[in-house]
């Protein structure tokens, strides 16, 4: 009976058509990710390639380095430097404050609802930018903002008389912190969750103090994730324009606003110089993302 069944199965296998003769099969398993690739091609890859090519062309379409050479103008170099300083300041401050919040909600012994509420708010606040955020800070810390008036009325503190200005370097940096800190919390919480409890127990068994455990175990493990997130926050702030333009207009000379004015033709309509400015921003943010990927790869070795 068994031999007959095996013989029948073998006959069916021999009579079945080979895979090559079954006809062409559509790769339907790729249809699910097709919208992503189409979207990336249309709104990321092709526009980026267009900008890069335009940065090395003149009005007649000829190849030239003149647009790149014009990036050395003092006003443009100053715009890049101010943008880098704002991005660094908001990135480092946002990372430090966000790390403290993340450690508190993950390992601080707080109730679970505090963690869920903080992560929910962080997910929303990290995407809150543009005109609404600029208006919120003007209504809060503007010359007639709520906090400004309360400090002046209740405590006699006039922050504008002390030198603060919402339309300045520190004003824009403070505004950026509203979405930088929540973004840090969202990104660093999984890294803190990856710290194994056994590491702390082993350190305590060997006689290490809590300070030694954090200095010799936690900080070295979290350091690559922390640096990678700082780099990501830097890139996030460097490319932001909607909040800066809505808050300061053209009073603060940063690269995104300069690029916007150049392409729009507010001062001198030279789109190819605008392409060169965009190319410079692509280089800066591209390097930042390369460092982020490198730091993230190093951190994942420990957190697996």
Q: What pLDDT is attached to residue 17?
A: 53
Residue 112, exposed/middle/buried by CB under 10 A (0-12, 13-18, 19+)?
exposed
Q: What is the pTM of this model?
A: 0.82
Give the residue among 257, 256, 93, 79 at the shortest CA–CA distance from 174.
Answer: 93
The pLDDT of residue 15 is above 60: no
Q: What pLDDT is attached to residue 6?
A: 45
Tokens, residue 102: 């993340």
What 3 state SS string does 153-190 have?
HHCCCCCCCCCCCCCCHHHHHHHHHHHHHHHHHHHHHH
The pLDDT of residue 267 is above 80: no
Question: Within 13 Å, how many C-alpha atoms sit on residue 163's CB side?
Answer: 2
Q: What pLDDT is attached to residue 304?
A: 61
CA distances in angstroms from 166 to 41, 48, 159, listed in the order given = 39, 33, 10
Residue 213, exposed/middle/buried by CB under 10 A (0-12, 13-18, 19+)?
middle
Q: What share of the chain is helix, strand, coil (3-state, %, to 5)?
A: 75, 0, 25
Residue-wise pLDDT for 141-199, tens only, equals 988 889 999 999 999 999 998 888 888 889 899 999 999 999 999 999 988 888 888 88
CA distances in angstroms from 235 to 41, 76, 87, 230, 252, listed in the order given = 21, 19, 7, 9, 19
Are the CB atoms for 234 and 292 separated by under 8 Å? no
CATH superfamily ID and name for 74-268+275-303: MetI-like (1.10.3720.10)
Residue-wise pLDDT for 17-27, tens only, equals 554 455 566 66
The pLDDT of residue 1 is above 60: no
DSSP letters of 44-104?
Answer: IIHHHHHHHHHHTB-TTS-B-SHHHHGGGSHHHHHHHHHHHHHHHHHHHHHHHHHHHHHHH
Are the CB atoms for 204 and 118 separated by under 8 Å? no
How far the first Cα of the chain sits from its last, in Å, is: 52
175-207 burial: b if 16+ Cβ within 10 Å, else e: bbbbbbbbbbbbbbbebbeebeeeebeebeeee
Give the residue among 228, 231, 211, 207 at the shortest CA–CA distance from 303.
Answer: 228
The band of 104, judged by pLDDT with boundaries at 50, 70 and 90, is: very high
Tokens, residue 219: 């900080």
* Crossing angle of helices 46-55 and 271-303, rounded to 10°: 130
H-helix or E-strand spanning residue 110:
none
Ramachandran angles phi, psi of 224, nearest 5°: -60, -40
Question: Within 13 Å, how many C-alpha atoms sit on residue 140's CB side?
Answer: 11
With pLDDT > 90 as the criterion, what percentage of the chain qualifies? Answer: 30
């Amino acid at each position: 009976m068994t031999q007959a069944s095996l013989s029948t199965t073998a006959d069916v296998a021999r009579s079945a058509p080979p895979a090559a003769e079954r006809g062409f099969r559509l790769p339907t398993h790729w249809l699910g990710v097709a919208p992503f690739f189409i979207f990336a091609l249309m709104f990321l890859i092709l526009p980026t390639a267009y900008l890069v090519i335009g940065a090395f062309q003149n009005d007649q379409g000829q190849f030239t380095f003149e647009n790149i050479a014009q990036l050395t103008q003092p006003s443009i170099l100053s715009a890049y430097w101010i943008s880098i300083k704002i991005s660094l300041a908001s990135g480092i401050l946002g990372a430090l404050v966000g790390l403290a919040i993340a450690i508190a909600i993950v390992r601080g012994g707080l109730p679970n609802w505090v963690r869920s509420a903080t992560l929910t708010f962080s997910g929303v606040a990290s995407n809150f930018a543009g005109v609404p955020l600029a208006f919120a800070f003007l209504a809060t810390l503007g010359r007639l903002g709520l906090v400004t008036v309360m400090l002046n009325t209740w405590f006699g503190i006039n922050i504008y008389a002390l030198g603060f200005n919402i339309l300045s370097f520190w004003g824009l940096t403070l505004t950026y912190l509203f979405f930088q800190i929540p973004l840090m919390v969202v990104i660093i919480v999984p890294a803190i969750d990856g710290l194994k409890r056994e590491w702390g127990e082993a350190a305590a068994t060997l006689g290490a103090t809590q300070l030694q455990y954090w200095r010799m175990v936690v900080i070295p493990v979290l350091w690559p994730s922390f640096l990678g997130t700082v780099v990501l926050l830097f890139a996030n702030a460097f490319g932001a324009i909607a909040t800066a333009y809505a808050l300061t207009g053209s009073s603060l000379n940063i690269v995104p606003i300069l690029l916007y004015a150049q392409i729009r033709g507010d001062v001198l309509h030279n789109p190819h110089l605008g392409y060169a400015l965009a190319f410079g921003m692509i280089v800066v943010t591209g390097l930042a993302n390369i460092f982020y990927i490198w730091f993230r790869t190093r951190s994942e070795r420990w957190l697996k």
